[in-house]
C-alpha cells in the first residue's frame, strides 16, 4: 500500500485525486482547511474508513504544516507521494474568471497571500515532509503549477500575482530537484489543464476526474531522470 498526501483535498481537482488514489488502493492523507469537517471528505471516509485520513491543514500556516506531520506520523513512517495541489488566484480564493488583477488594481496584501499559498506553501510542505519522503522506496513530489507560470508561453495580461507565484513555484521545484535527487526524491511541476473547478470556472474544458486520472498516470510513469521537469497533464513537456 502506497501512502499519499494531497493538499487542497476537499474539492475540485484535489478531491478527484483523493478518490482515484483511494480507488487504486493507496492510503491517502487528505489535507484541507477544516479536515474531517469537510462534507466531501466525510463521504469518502465512510466509503474508505481504513484508507482515508482527513487532516486539517492550512499551507499558509507553518505551524499547521508542522502539526500535520505529527498527524501523518501516527499512521506511517514514510510517504510515497506528496501532491501540493492547494492554490488560490486571489486573497479570498477568487477564481480566474473573477480575479484577473489588471494593472492598476494590484494590491500588496493580495500578492503576498497568493505567494504564501502557491509558492511558499509547497516549499514548506516539502521541507517538513522530507524525512518521511526519504524513507519511501520511490518517493515522488508533484507540485501543481499552471501554464500561466510559463514565462516563454505567457501571452495574456493580468493575473500578476497568480502567474508570478506559479513561475516562482517552478523555480522552487527546480532547486528542490537538485537538492533532493541524491535522496531519490523525484519532484516535478505539472500543469493540470484548464480544469472545471472553482478556480478554473465553468467554461474550463477538462473535468477534474479526467485531469486527476492523467496526473496519476503521469506520476506512475516517472523516473529519476524526470526530476525537475515541467509537464503538461498529458505528460508532454512545457516551456519555461
- The per-residue pLDDT for range 99-145, each reduced to its tens digit, is 689 999 999 999 999 999 999 999 999 999 999 999 999 999 999 99
On whether the CB atoms of residues 114 and 133 are closer than 8 A, the answer is no
Average pLDDT over residues 173-191: 98
User: For 15-29, 83-97, 189-203, 211-225, which range has the lowest pLDDT when averaged over its residues?
Assistant: 83-97
Average pLDDT over residues 201-210: 84
Q: Which domains does the chain have, with CATH numbers?
A: 3-232 (3.40.50.720)
pLDDT at residue 34 is higher than 60: yes
pLDDT at residue 201 is higher than 80: no
Average pLDDT over residues 9-16: 96
Enumerate the β-bridge partners of residue 7: 31
pLDDT at residue 35 is higher than 90: no
Average pLDDT over residues 181-208: 89
C-alpha to C-alpha distance for 10 and 36, rounded to whole angstroms: 9
pLDDT at residue 238 is higher than 60: yes
- Burial pattern 117-132, b for ≥16 Cβ within 10 A else e, equals bbbbbbbbbbebbbeb
* Structure confidence at residue 99 (pLDDT): 60
Average pLDDT over residues 71-77: 98
- Alpha-carbon Rg for the chain, nearest whole angstrom, is 17
* Structure confidence at residue 98 (pLDDT): 47
Percent pLDDT > 90 in the chain is 86
pLDDT at residue 10 is higher than 70: yes
pLDDT at residue 181 is higher than 60: yes
**C-alpha grid cell, residue 114:** 497568493
* Structure confidence at residue 97 (pLDDT): 42
* Structure confidence at residue 27 (pLDDT): 98
C-alpha to C-alpha distance for 122 and 172, rounded to whole angstroms: 9
Mean pLDDT of the chain: 94
Average pLDDT over residues 84-90: 94
Q: Is 112 exposed, middle or buried (0-12, 13-18, 19+ CB in 10 A)?
A: middle
C-alpha to C-alpha distance for 25 and 103, rounded to whole angstroms: 47
C-alpha to C-alpha distance for 121 and 65, rounded to whole angstroms: 9
* Structure confidence at residue 203 (pLDDT): 77
- Residue whose entry in the numeric block shows the C-alpha cell 503576498: 112
Per-residue pLDDT band for 91 (boundaries 50, 70, 90) equals low
C-alpha to C-alpha distance for 62 and 69, rounded to whole angstroms: 11
Amino acid at each position: 500500500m502506497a501512502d499519499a498526501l494531497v493538499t487542497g483535498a476537499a474539492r475540485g481537482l484535489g478531491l478527484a485525486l483523493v478518490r482515484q488514489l483511494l480507488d487504486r488502493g493507496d492510503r491517502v492523507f487528505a489535507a484541507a482547511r477544516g479536515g474531517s469537517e469537510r462534507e466531501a471528505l466525510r463521504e469518502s471516509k465512510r466509503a474508505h474508513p481504513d484508507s482515508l485520513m482527513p487532516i486539517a491543514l492550512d499551507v499558509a500556516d507553518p505551524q499547521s504544516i508542522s502539526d500535520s506531520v505529527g498527524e501523518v506520523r501516527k499512521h506511517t513512517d514514510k510517504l510515497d507521494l506528496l501532491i501540493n495541489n492547494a492554490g488560490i488566484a486571489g486573497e479570498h480564493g477568487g477564481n480566474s474568471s473573477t480575479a484577473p488583477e489588471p494593472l492598476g488594481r494590484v494590491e500588496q496584501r493580495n500578492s503576498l497571500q497568493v505567494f504564501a499559498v502557491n509558492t511558499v506553501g509547497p516549499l514548506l510542505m516539502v521541507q517538513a515532509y522530507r524525512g518521511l519522503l526519504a524513507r519511501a522506496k520511490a518517493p515522488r513530489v508533484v507540485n501543481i503549477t499552471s501554464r500561466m507560470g510559463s514565462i516563454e508561453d505567457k501571452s495574456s495580461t493580468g493575473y500578476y500575482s497568480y502567474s508570478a507565484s506559479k513561475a516562482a513555484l517552478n523555480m522552487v521545484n527546480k532547486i528542490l530537484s537538485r537538492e533532493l535527487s541524491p535522496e531519490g526524491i523525484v519532484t516535478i511541476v505539472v500543469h493540470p489543464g484548464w480544469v472545471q473547478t472553482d478556480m478554473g470556472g465553468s467554461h474550463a474544458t477538462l473535468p477534474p476526474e479526467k485531469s486527476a486520472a492523467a496526473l496519476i498516470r503521469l506520476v506512475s510513469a516517472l523516473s529519476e531522470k524526470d526530476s525537475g521537469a515541467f509537464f503538461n497533464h498529458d505528460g508532454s513537456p512545457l516551456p519555461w
